[in-house]
Amino acid sequence: MRLLSIASGSSGNCIYVGDDTTHILIDAGISGKRIEAGLNSIGVSGKDLDAVFVTHEHIDHISGIGVLSRKYDVPIYATNGTIAGISTTRSVGDIDDQLYQVIHKNENITVGGLLIKAVPISHDAAEPVCYTITNGKSHAAIATDMGCYSEEIVENLKGMDAILLEANHDVNMLQVGPYPYYLKQRILGNKGHLSNETAGKLLCELLHDDLKYVLLGHLSKENNLPQLAHEAVRLEITMGETPYQANDFDITVASRSEPTKLLEF
Ligand SMILES: [Zn+2]
Ligand SMILES: [Zn+2]
């Protein structure tokens, strides 16, 4: 399988996952043009898309979905709550009702040669989920936008070859930063976003010998720095109760605005 983060951050998210025959996106929260350019950079076209799976209705995950669905008739898979949220977001424009495919939490969906599972997450949206994707041989997970993680999340995210994991903010930068108090509380809360440190702790529970790639994503523009996220997560591994060192794994930070290196596994 292949995984490309076309954009990952609090101002837009779009992740490509696919193999030779099946091509899907997780979220479409950037412009149609940027999605196309990202796909083209790895030899895939918008026409090739088999599905878009949406994690939740926040605008940084859906802003390009109207354009994409109107241009290519791509089916949109999402939970009922997320579909309701997309339909009432006027800026995405009209979407043909027939393109919506309702998914339920913990359900496995087959699209072409891929099996996609929606796992519920804790976030301040209607019915948010993260996704795991497998072709039977390789396994990937896209897990962002969660204020905390449960045992259910840990169990579902184990055994991956590649994982894109949220490392949203540095708690100190957030606390002394420019955001108003209510927003700081929202981000720090159980339905907000994972800090660098918490991302590192979650990752420690997911490490195994065959984990090939870790991409840290959904970084905040105001409250994080790529190097800080990288170092904080690496430190959790090295200091944590695992048999591993940070250097045992390929850990990189996904760019907020550009495609990050193509992962093949
Ligand atoms: Zn988001
Ligand atoms: Zn969100």
**Interstrand relation of 139-143 and 129-134 (parallel, antiparallel or unpaired):** antiparallel
pLDDT digits (tens, 9 = 90+) for 182-194: 999 999 999 999 9
Distance 48 CA to ligand 1 centre (A): 25
In whole angstroms, give the CA distance from residue 178 to residue 60.
20
Distance 7 CA to ligand 2 centre (A): 15
pLDDT at 57: 98
Q: Phi and psi at residue 185, in whole multiples of 5°? A: -65, -40
pLDDT at 246: 97
Distance 27 CA to ligand 1 centre (A): 10
pLDDT at 16: 98
Distance 187 CA to ligand 1 centre (A): 11
Distance 111 CA to ligand 1 centre (A): 24
- CB–CB of 159/134 below 8 Å? no
In whole angstroms, give the CA distance from residue 167 to residue 23.
26
Mean pLDDT by 10 residues, the chain (265 residues): 97 97 98 97 98 98 97 98 97 96 97 98 98 98 98 98 98 96 96 98 98 98 97 96 96 97 97
Distance 254 CA to ligand 2 centre (A): 17
List the structure tokens of 225. 């720095």
Distance 124 CA to ligand 1 centre (A): 10
Smallest-distance ligand from the CA of 123: 2
| DSSP secondary structure, 185-231, as one string | HHHHSTTS--BHHHHHHHHHHH--TT--EEEEE-B-SSS--HHHHHH
- CB–CB of 44/19 below 8 Å? no
Distance 145 CA to ligand 1 centre (A): 5
- CB–CB of 94/118 below 8 Å? no
pLDDT at 224: 97
pLDDT at 196: 98
For 25, 144, 153, 254, 259, the CA distances from 205, given in Å and listed in that order, are 26, 16, 10, 21, 27
pLDDT at 182: 96
Which of 263, 204, 261, 189 minimizes the C-alpha distance to 238?
204
Smallest-distance ligand from the CA of 192: 2
Smallest-distance ligand from the CA of 12: 1
Smallest-distance ligand from the CA of 142: 1
In whole angstroms, give the CA distance from residue 199 to residue 95.
35
Distance 198 CA to ligand 1 centre (A): 17
